[in-house]
Structure 1
Amino acid sequence: MPFTIDFLDDGRVLEWEVTADGAVATAREDYTPRFYVGSRAPDADVDLEAVRTQYERHPDVVATGIRSRRPGFRRDDEAVLAVDVAHVDRVAPLARQVRQLSAPPVGDLACFNVDFSREFRYCLENDLDPTPATALSTLRLGVPVTETAEGAYTELTVDGEVVSGSSTDVLAAVRAALDARNPDVLVCSTSEIVPTLSEMAADAGLDDFTLSRRPDVDYQRLAGRSTYASYGRVGHSPARYNVPGRAIVDESNTFFYGETNLDGILDLVSRSKKPIQELAWASIGNVLTAIQICEAHSRGVLVPWNSWRHEFFKPMGTLHDADRGGFVFAPEVGVHDDVHELDFSSLYPNIICSRNVSPDTIRCSCHGDREDVPELGYAICDERGYLVDVLQPIVDARDGIKAEIRRERRRSDPDSDRLEALAGRSAALKWILVACFGYQGFSNAKFGRIECHEAINAFAREILLTAKDRLEAGGWRVVHGIVDSIWVTPDPDVDGAERRGLDALAAEISEAVDVRLEYEAEYDWVAFVPQRGSDTGALTKYFGKRAGEAEFKIRGIEARQRSTASFVEATQRALLERFDDSRDPDDVLCTLREAIRELRAGGVDPGRLVERNRVSKPRDAYTQYTKNVAALERASDDGLGVHPGQSIEYVVVDDEKRSRDRVALAHEEPDSYDASYYETRLVRAAESVLSPLGWDREDVRQRLDGSYTPELPTFGVDSGGW
């Protein structure tokens, strides 16, 4: 089976398959991608023959025909128009022309199977599994950020070895690696390496240099860079390129490769029919949609181009009850000893599978008199929903992989490579399962439905409340609960002899709610952190010490935040160690004083003070002169393009200034820093550790008073003290 597919400008398609003798290409000249045109609603009156006549006149249309397909899971087979196109790039433009056709009213027509990625479409339409039959060879090419400002590279990392020198030297090293490894996959720190190396070769007169396995096609640009917004956050999508015969993994534009590994990607390739290159840049929702499309395709159901599912009518009372999230039991702020964490295994996916929650089953017309969903009264059809068929194999597969991991770890000589491969596969499936619930409420989801989202939440609330009641009846006190996790501690008002074991309770609850409740961990203690400026517990901020383990479990506080400088992170972890030893705020503050003393003396390597922040908009769009603006100006001075959605790294050297001298970029290797600014960061980190004991930032400051001067100047590393 092909692991990558190339689409040439002349219409030919190349299927690349890995064999024992290397990659082999098979050319196809007869491939014609297809989309469909049908009625938007079952009772719409559309003249498909008139539409067909219009399309038959178009030079890019190869063939047309009336076919019988299901335009949706809730619809039976209907007549639709199949349109075969000369080239995959012409599918979307031709589908848009439906709106220009005058035969039926525009609102009655709908297009299907339009916006598929190219390789995925090819595999779906030709029933191909793009999972490689043998192991793939890889080659990594990396370029430092400072080199991205130039038109040519003078330094490049080739499979872990740094190569520097002229363009000819760099290109020779790449060519030697290509000849030696003949890689199937190119792992690039940025996809811009592809066109830059090609331009370097052209400038150097090296006409025979190419990354491609086909000398007649060097590379193809698939998409330009873009900026987007998702759930209130700005993101950046770099340009995408294709090198014939090789799959590209762009480390700056990949979720699954970064969160899992190549084994995780290959597991999802087999489930989604998205080849390696497309899966590497795809989002979680994109891959989940591909898996759903595969299931729809197997059932003869077409995929709508644009989502038009209306929300079912609801009485005001039902709308109020439905507009709620998952279960939340506010944490008891403070430090709790002898805490136990229990988690429901893949709660939302298991609710979907055990309760048959699916867009094609929720609020079905055949069981309208039933009230299957608690609080909401929605009926759920008895016929198995398509979403169950999508998710149940993934749930079962992850359970099996986790069992394999446990068996491997119990061996006297566990295989680290096998464990790494299993962990990658488990993580990849976990992310799909995490997304399956929220995607049901996403307005652009191909097959989502808000009523599914509401029903899953309603079932989850009932399940967690049932668990809470039974745990409390068994002699345990719930100190925190959120979505699918519950933290409990022994109820002091219940005699130990009367308290039931958690294993027995978990088994009983699992049977009662038909979702497995697992004993996750025992903690010597857990501290729940309050919201800043409030006594209310923060839902996702806590830290604790697992029994028998040296490491802390940390969530939400500075040591887990991506923007935190490594020195601040290390200091907070040291504060936690002291907190664990004594629970005495004064002992914790002794460690803080030591860190502040080192900071003020200029003894901290500025490289440990680098902060990493996401840029949310172009430099000129900021109305305040923030540190990000100062960093963007410095980047512009160096010729570095930092786009909205990307991150920028810098050291704060003088936070009082309102110019580009406020910060220094990480690659500039600054030799000074603003001690006062980073001291504030340290105090904030100490506040997070001590806040479960009732301390805030002012308490920390007041206790430190007299041991240092609050307002400090900027110090150089070699300043010799203060």
Structure 2
Amino acid sequence: MPFTIDFLDDGRVLEWESTPDGAVVTERDAYTPQFFVGTRAPDADLDVTTLRAVYDRHPDVVATEVVSRRPAFRRDSEAVLAVTVAHVDQVTPLARQTREVSDAPIGDLACFNVDFSREFRYCLETGTDPTPSGELTTLRLGVPLPETTGDVYSELTIDGEDVTGPPREILTAVQAAVDRVDPDVLVCSTSQLIPTLYEMADRAEIDSFSLSRWADVEYQQLASRSTYASYGRVGHSPTRYNVPGRVIIDESNTFFYGETNLDGVVDLVSRSHKPLQEAAWASIGNILTAIQVRTAHDRGVLVPWHSWRHEQFKSMRTLHDADRGGFIFAPEVGVHEDVHELDFSSLYPNIICTRNVSPDVIRCECHRDRSDVPELDYAICDEQGYLVDVLQPLIDARDEIKTEIQDEQERNSPDGNRIAALEGRSAALKWILVACFGYQGFNNAKFGRIECHEAINAFAREILLTAKAQLEDGGWRVVHGIVDSIWVTPDPDTADANRTPISELAATITDAVDIRLEHEAHYEWVAFVPQRDRNVGALTKYFGKITGEDAYKIRGIEARQRSTPPFIADTQRACLEQFDATRSPEAVLTVLADALSDLYEGRVAGERLVETNSVSKPIDGYTQDTRTVAALKRAREHGLAVHPGQDIEYIVVDDERTSRDRVALAHEDIETYDADYYGTQLIRAAESILSPLGWTRQEIRRSLRNTRDTELAQYT
């Protein structure tokens, strides 16, 4: 089975397979992809006489044929026009011509199987499984941030070892590593490294330098850089490159490799049939769509180029009831003793599978008088939906992997490598399962449907209310609950002898709702944090001590936020430990005061004060002089290109300024920092720990002034 696939300009396809003796290539020269043209409306007559005549004369079209296919899951097989194309790069341009040359009214015709990535299309149409058949060899190449500004590198890391020197020495070291390892996978800190190395070789007149396994092609540019928005966040996609015979993983442009590991990405390859290089840069939705497309293909269903699903008619009452999210029990601000956290295992995916929630069966015509979804008048067909076929194998696989992890951890000599591989696979599946619910409401989803999104929420609300009622009947008090998790503590009005054990209640609720309720954690205590300037519980901010372990669970507060400097995060953790040991606000303030002393006396290293923030727009798009803008101005002065969606790291050196001198970039030599700015951050972090006890930032400052000497108090 090939682990990577290359397309040559002349139409040939190269399949590369990993073997114990190295990579083996197979040439294919007869691949001709297809797309389809059909009617948008069911049972409409297809008349593509004019369109077919135009395509038959087109030099990039190999053949046309009227065939029978299903244009949608809810439609039977119909006549569609199959267009066979000479080269994979011509599929989209030819599909765009459909409206231009067809004599059918605009909106009557639709194109299918158009916007697949070329490697995925090849695997889908030829039945090729791109899962690597053997262990892959890997080589990592990295470039420090300051080096990325120029077209010549003087410093490089090769599998973690630093190499410095003139271009010839750098290139010699890279070539030696490539020849020695012969990597199947090149992990690069930035994809721009590939063309830069070749440009360096050209300038140094080194004709023998090559990263490629195919002598005729050194590298290819697959896509230019772009900026995109997803779920309210701006992302940056850098230029993508391809080196024949090797998988390129760009660490600056990979979600799954960064969140899991190579084993996790390979697991997704086996399920989506997206080759490894594609799977590495793909988004969660991209992989989920690929798995859905495979399921559609197996059922003979075509994939629409542009989704045109309409929302079915709803009454005003139904619209009101459907426009709700998951159920939430607002957390009780404060510190709670002896708390149990219970989570429904993969709640939304399991709702889909146990309740058969799928776009092709929701609100079916054959059961239109039936109301299967609580609170809503939606019927669900008895025929199993395709989404169940997509998700149930993922749920089962993750459960099996989690069991394997537990078994390995309980062995006398656990295999750390095997545990890491299993955890990577589990994490990859978790991200797919997390996204499957939201994707049903995504307007560009190939097979999503808003009614599925609404039905899943309705079932989830019913399930959480059922759990709450049974837990309270069993002698427990709910102190917080959100979507799929619920926190309970013993109800003081119930005698211990009359209280049903948590494990027994979890089993009873599991049987009642047909989804496993798992005991996630037992805490000695949990503190729920209020919202800023309000005594209302923040839904996702809490911290607690796990019973029987020297460990804490932290969510939402500064120590968990990626932008928080290490010094602030470490101080907050120290405050938390002191809080656990003493339950004394005064003891926590002692930790804070010591940190403030270190800060104001200059004993904190600059690298421990680095903030990391994501850039959301070009520098000219900002209207306020924020610290991020100051950092972008400074980066521009240094010749560093930081695009929307990328991170920028800096240290605040004078927060009173609005110019680029407000901050210093993380890689610069830092001689000073703004102690007042970071002191405010320290106090805010301490407030997160003490606010469940009713302490405010003002009270913390007042207490510091009353207990510390004047020299320190003047800064707080």
Given the two structures, how large is their TM-score scaled by the length of structure 2?
0.99
State the shift of 1:45 in Å: 3.8
Determine the structure 2 residue equivalent to 1:717: none
State the shift of 1:103 in Å: 1.1
Within 5 A, what are the aligned runs for 1:699-710? 699-706=699-706, 707=708, 708=710
Determine the structure 1 residue equivalent to 2:424: 424
Question: Which one-letter code corresponds to 1:120 in the other structure?
Answer: F
Matched, 1:281 2:281: yes
Determine the structure 1 residue equivalent to 2:579: 579
Determine the structure 2 residue equivalent to 1:686: 686
Contact residue 653 and residue 663 of structure 1 kept, 8 A: yes
Cα deviations across residues 165-216 of structure 1 (Å, max 9, x unaligned)? 0100000001000110000000001101111111111111112211110121
| Distance of 2:65 and 2:97 partners within structure 1 | 17
State the shift of 1:710 in Å: 7.9
Question: Which one-letter code corresponds to 1:298 in the other structure?
Answer: D
Within 5 A, what are the aligned runs for 1:114-133? 114-133=114-133
Matched, 1:564 2:564: yes
The alignment partner of 1:603 has SS state of coil
Cα deviations across residues 79-98 of structure 1 (Å, max 9, x unaligned)? 01111111111111111111
Within 5 A, what are the aligned runs for 1:54-93? 54-93=54-93
| Distance of 2:619 and 2:210 partners within structure 1 | 36
Cα deviations across residues 525-573 of structure 1 (Å, max 9, x unaligned)? 0000111111111110000010111121000000000000000000000
Determine the structure 2 residue equivalent to 1:716: none
Determine the structure 2 residue equivalent to 1:325: 325
Cα deviations across residues 213-248 of structure 1 (Å, max 9, x unaligned)? 012101000001011111221111111000000001
Question: Which one-letter code corresponds to 1:500 in the other structure?
Answer: T
Cα deviations across residues 318-368 of structure 1 (Å, max 9, x unaligned)? 000000001111100100000001111111111100001000010000001
| Distance of 1:208 and 1:298 partners within structure 2 | 46
| Distance of 2:230 and 2:403 partners within structure 1 | 35
Within 5 A, what are the aligned runs for 1:476-487? 476-487=476-487
The alignment partner of 1:63 has SS state of strand
| Distance of 2:343 and 2:388 partners within structure 1 | 22
The alignment partner of 1:682 has SS state of helix
Cα deviations across residues 41-85 of structure 1 (Å, max 9, x unaligned)? 113344123221121121111111111000000000000111111
State the shift of 1:711 in Å: 8.9
Cα deviations across residues 681-704 of structure 1 (Å, max 9, x unaligned)? 001101111111111211111211
Structure 1 residue runs without a partner (length 5+):
714-721
The alignment partner of 1:47 has SS state of coil
Contact residue 542 and residue 557 of structure 2 kept, 8 A: yes
| Distance of 2:322 and 2:101 partners within structure 1 | 41
Determine the structure 1 residue equivalent to 2:240: 240
State the shift of 1:712 in Å: 7.0
Question: Which one-letter code corresponds to 1:413 in the other structure?
Answer: S
State the shift of 1:102 in Å: 3.7
Within 5 A, what are the aligned runs for 1:341-352? 341-352=341-352
Matched, 1:658 2:658: yes
- CA 1:405–1:296 in 2, change beyond 3 Å: closer, same or farther? same
The alignment partner of 1:133 has SS state of coil
| Distance of 1:45 and 1:534 partners within structure 2 | 62
Determine the structure 1 residue equivalent to 2:22: 22
Cα deviations across residues 351-400 of structure 1 (Å, max 9, x unaligned)? 10000100001000000111000000210000010000000011001111
Contact residue 372 and residue 380 of structure 1 kept, 8 A: yes
The alignment partner of 2:107 has SS state of helix
State the shift of 1:127 in Å: 0.5
Determine the structure 1 residue equivalent to 2:35: 35
Question: Which one-letter code corresponds to 1:627 in the other structure?
Answer: R
Within 5 A, what are the aligned runs for 1:145-160? 145-160=145-160
Matched, 1:223 2:223: yes
Question: Which one-letter code corresponds to 2:466 in the other structure?
Answer: T
State the shift of 1:150 in Å: 1.2
Contact residue 705 and residue 713 of structure 2 kept, 8 A: no
Matched, 1:605 2:602: no
State the shift of 1:16 in Å: 0.7
The alignment partner of 1:673 has SS state of coil
Contact residue 48 and residue 102 of structure 2 kept, 8 A: no
Determine the structure 2 residue equivalent to 1:719: none
Contact residue 607 and residue 669 of structure 1 kept, 8 A: no
Question: Which one-letter code corresponds to 2:373 in the other structure?
Answer: V
Cα deviations across residues 459-479 of structure 1 (Å, max 9, x unaligned)? 000000000000000000000
Question: Which one-letter code corresponds to 1:364 in the other structure?
Answer: C
Determine the structure 2 residue equivalent to 1:446: 446
- CA 1:587–1:87 in 2, change beyond 3 Å: closer, same or farther? same
Matched, 1:511 2:504: no
Determine the structure 2 residue equivalent to 1:164: 164
Contact residue 50 and residue 102 of structure 2 kept, 8 A: no
Contact residue 479 and residue 489 of structure 2 kept, 8 A: yes
Determine the structure 1 residue equivalent to 2:434: 434
Contact residue 190 and residue 252 of structure 2 kept, 8 A: yes
Cα deviations across residues 647-675 of structure 1 (Å, max 9, x unaligned)? 10000000011211110000003121000
| Distance of 2:668 and 2:111 partners within structure 1 | 53
Within 5 A, what are the aligned runs for 1:595-674? 595-674=595-674
Cα deviations across residues 229-273 of structure 1 (Å, max 9, x unaligned)? 112211111110000000011111001101111111111100000
| Distance of 1:185 and 1:13 partners within structure 2 | 19
The alignment partner of 1:5 has SS state of strand
| Distance of 1:406 and 1:629 partners within structure 2 | 47
Contact residue 676 and residue 711 of structure 1 kept, 8 A: no
| Distance of 1:673 and 1:472 partners within structure 2 | 53
Relative to structure 2, which stretch is displaced further, 612-621 or 308-317?
A: 612-621
Given the two structures, how large is their TM-score scaled by the length of structure 1?
0.98
- Identity rate, percent: 71
